Structures are given as C-alpha cells and as structure tokens.
Amino acid sequence: MRSQIILASAMTAASLLAQAPKPSATAMPDFNGIWQSKLTGIARAYGKPLPFTPFGEERYKAQDVLKDPVGICLPAGPVRAATGSPHPFQIIQTKDMLAMLYEYQGVYRMIYTDGRKAPEDIEDYPEWMGFSTGHYEGDTLVVETVGINARNWLDAKMEHSEKLRLNERFRKTDDNTFSWIVTYTDPVYFQEPITINYTIRRSKAGERIMSYSCSDDTSNAANFESNKK
Amino acid sequence: MNLRKLCFGVMLCGLASVAVSAHHSNASYYDTVKTVTITGTLKKVEWRSPHVFFSVDVKDANGAVTTYGLEHASPQSLYRAGFRKDDVAIGSVVEVDIMPGLRDHTTGRMRVMRFNGKKFFEMGLDRPGLTE
C-alpha cells in the first residue's frame, strides 16, 4: 500500500511537472525602433593605423574620392548606409528576421534569423547589402554577412574586395543605445580583421524615417549651367 | 555646344559639378576651411533630395548678375532641425556665409543665411547635416 501511494505521488508529481509551463528561453533583445549613428568613417572610427596590405594601402592613398559610388547613387552597403550619413534608420524585428530600413538612399537590408544559410552561389551573385544570417546569443544578435558587392565602398574613401566578410554583434547597452560591433575581414585590403564598435542611439520620440531620392539633384543642374553663360 | 550643356542630365559627367554629385563629401567640392560671404537676392529654394539648394542672385558693381548655387544639408536633416522651405521669402536680400566651391566660385556649401540681421538655416558642425 505504501509503495502504491509513493508511486501514485510520483506519477502525480511527474504529471504536474509535464503540464507546468516550460521555462521560457531568454527573451529576444528588442531592437525595434528608429536609431541614429554619428557620421563617421573607417579610419576615424578605428582610431589607430589601419593594418593595410601593401595593395590596400596603395589603393587607399591613391583613391579618387570623386569616384565614390554613392556619388552616382549606388547603394552604400549594410554598415555605411547607417554610419556614413546623418540619416536615421528603422529596425523592424520578428523572430525570423530583422530588417534595417535606412533613410539614406531609401535602401534596406534583411538579416535572416530563421536558420537559413546563404545561397551557395552568393559570391557569384553578390548583393549591395550582402546576404546576412543571424542568431541570438543571450542578449546579443550575432550576424554573418557575405557576398557584398565590391562596387560599393566602406566609407567615403575605402574600397573593399569581393572577399569581404562582416561579423556583427548587436547588443543593447540600455533602452536607448546599442553597440554595433563590426569586424571587417578582407584579406585583400587588410592584413588582419579590423573591429569597430559603433554606438547607436535611439532617435527622439515621434521620429520617423522620411523618403529620400538620390537622383533628384539633377533637376538643379540648370542653376550651375547658367553660371557658364 | 559647350561641354556643360552636353553634360546636362548625364549623371556620370564630372563637369556637371555638384548638381549631379548626389552625395559626395563636402571636402570633395568645397573649401571646408574658408568662409566667403555673399550678399544678394534669394531667387529660388529647391527643397529636394539628397540636398536642398538655394539660388542667390548677386549683383556686381557694374550691375551684372551672377547666380550662386548654394548647397545645404538634406531636406530630411533640415526639416528635423526645424527649418522650413519658406523660412526666408523669395526676393529677400540675404547675406550668406559659404564654403566656396573648389572648382567653381559660383557654387558653395551654405553655412548660414542672414536676413534682416536674423540667422536662418545655420547648422553647426555638431548637428546633423553640415558634414554630409
């Protein structure tokens, strides 16, 4: 009888445990909202001599900044679109993806957190924003980006190669700030990966991202033309 | 036909100057250290993307008029900073501090516009826009 009671108690306890709510996984950090980076560039943000390869250094020194691809409205790339202008960006986040919508140039990127992998041929078909996959490690979103079109630049002077890979770590440091630690690995331009920690701040309440046109400027050509009469 | 007319509307044509530069850094086109002050009549405000442009007609001693094309920050940055396109009426006499153009002295990047002694469209280096 006693053993039956013990068994019954054990079975009841087991049954209750089975029905109990499972302990929740760590809540996904919430990056939703409108955010702003300070305007900066790679050399300034890195803050010390860049570990260029001889080829990278030669290219950087000889760079013609008037050839900057954003000057002909080519997309700035996943980091520069946020850090290379004073325009804010919006993050929309679900469990399966995080979208960054940049006011600058009106471009966007998707970071897929649904477990998918980059297409095997992504390097043959590179994307302006690359292809980004991410996962959460506690309070940090860890992202790998490959296949970034080498026609865009990392900032107003710095090119990159098709071998560029980014590792990004997004982590909120408080409700209104997150650190965006970007490691750039490009063996054609840099002897070793370079890591920059960008501080991103939440825009003020009521802010929205506005529409943008990169090419609307051509309408003003007449004002400059008229000076040459 | 002069080369500038040929280049009109062709975005890749370098001689079409800042109008088609879309979003180059200021230092590519303007002397970011110098300040030149011009006085003239506000002719036009083009509240366009990616940069807002102000046209100011400046008359010289002989009465000849030169139209200065002055670039400012993006319309989004200006709007956020509280500026509006009709803050200064067309036809107003204005005094403008500019970063002069490196290649064309009739272009410039606006630092501040003064009208009736009041400042308009002034953006400090620590505020978004001036370093675009």
Instruction: Please tell me the number of Cα atoms within 13 Å of A78 on its side-chain side.
Output: 31
| Cβ contact, residue pair B20, A223, below 8 Å | no
B22 contacts chain A (CB < 8 A): yes
pLDDT per position as a tens digit, A144-160: 999 999 999 999 999 99
pLDDT > 70: what percent of chain A? Answer: 84
pLDDT, average across residues A178-199: 98
Residues 6+ apart with CB under 8 A from A21: none
pLDDT at residue number A166: 98
A217 part of a folded domain = no
Residue B48 forms contact with A (CB below 8 Å): yes
Residue A129 makes CB contacts below 8 A (sequence gap 6+) with: A75, A77, A78, A81, A107, A108, A109, A110, A145, A148
User: Tell me: the pLDDT tens digits for A67-105?
Assistant: 899 988 899 999 999 999 889 999 999 999 999 999 999
Instruction: Tell whether A103 is covered by a domain.
Output: yes
The Cα A109–Cα A102 span in angstroms is 8
Residue A17: inside a domain: no
**Rounded mean pLDDT, A21-35:** 78
How far, in Å, CA of A173 to CA of B15, rounded?
47
Best of A40, A215, A217 to mutate (most B CBs within 10 Å, chain B): A217
Residue ranges making up the domain that contains A199: 33-114+124-204
Touching B: A residues 99-128, CB under 8 Å: 103
**Nearest Cα residue in chain A from B76:** A210
Predicted confidence (pLDDT) per residue in A46-65, tens digit: 999 999 999 999 999 999 98
Q: Evaluate if residue B16 carries a pLDDT over 90.
A: no
B18 touches chain A (CB under 8 A): yes
**Residue of A225, A83, A25, A133 lying closest to B128 (CA atoms):** A83
In a domain, A215, yes or no: no
Sorted by sequence, the CB contacts under 8 Å of residue B101 that are 6+ apart come out as B17, B18, B29, B30, B31, B107, B108
**Closest A-chain CA to B17:** A224
Residue B116 Ramachandran class (φ > 0 left, ψ -120 to 50 alpha, else beta): left
In angstroms, how far is CA A222 from the centroid of its own chain? Answer: 38
What pLDDT digit, counting tens, does each position of A108-127 carry?
A: 999 999 999 999 999 999 99
Q: pLDDT at position A20, please?
A: 53
Q: What is the CATH number of domain B24-120?
A: 2.40.50.140
Q: What is the ipTM, given to two decimal places?
A: 0.72
Kindly state whether residue A183 falls inside one of the protein's structural domains: yes
Q: What is the CATH number of the domain that holds A108?
A: 2.40.128
Tokens 């600058």 correspond to A104
> Does B24 sit within 8 Å of A220, measured CB to CB?
no
Residue A204, φ and ψ in degrees, nearest 5: -70, 160
The domain segmentation of chain B, as residue ranges, is 24-120
Residues of B in contact with A228 (CB under 8 A): 2, 4
Q: Quick check: A167 pLDDT over 60? A: yes
**Residues B80-85: what's their mean pLDDT?**
90
CB of A222 less than 8 A from some CB of B: yes
Residue-wise pLDDT for B1-10, tens only, equals: 443 333 333 3
Q: Does A155 touch chain B (CB under 8 A)?
A: no
In the block, tokens 């990056």 appear at A31
The count of domains in chain A is: 1
